[in-house]
Amino acid sequence: MPGKRVLIAAGLIVLLLCLCCLPALSEEYRELKQGMKGDDVQHLKKAMYWLGYFTTPDLDGNYTKTTAERVKQLQKNNGLEETGVADAALQELVFSGNAVKTGSAPVPPPRPRRNRSLTRQAFPPARRKAFWPRRRTRRSSCTPTRTRAFGFT
């Protein structure tokens, strides 16, 4: 019976932990208003930059009057009530990738590719041999005469 009691106690502890953490999981985004500061403000502004609502990518974590105006513009373009406050629904829309972009949304820079022609120019074939000599093959100790002598022909 002690094993059964331990299992019941462990189950109750897990249930209590789930009930305590459930409200914290449901409040993923906090409401952002003018005058607030923090990393979540900066993340929102960066996401809005990629949607075209800001013109420079170097954004701070301050929710200013300009930020409120841009949030109003975002709300207007997406058919939401224009309050200037970034509530959880707006933030979820922005971070989901379904928000409407403006016409001036920046295009992400292309991924840099490795330029193989530069390698060829830096190490022409004549010099390449000096840096990377041919691989030497290992000579076998079994010569043809030895193989015949042992009867492996």
Q: How many CB atoms lie within 10 A of CB 79?
A: 7
Stated pTM of the model: 0.54
Q: Rounded to whole angstroms, what are the CA distances from 140 to 61, 137, 144?
A: 69, 9, 10
Domains and CATH numbers, the chain: 33-101 (1.10.101.10)
Q: From CA 79, how far away is CA 44, in angstroms rounded?
A: 19
pLDDT in tens, 82-139: 999 999 999 999 999 889 888 776 676 777 766 655 555 555 555 555 555 555 555 5
pLDDT in tens, 118-131: 555 555 555 555 55
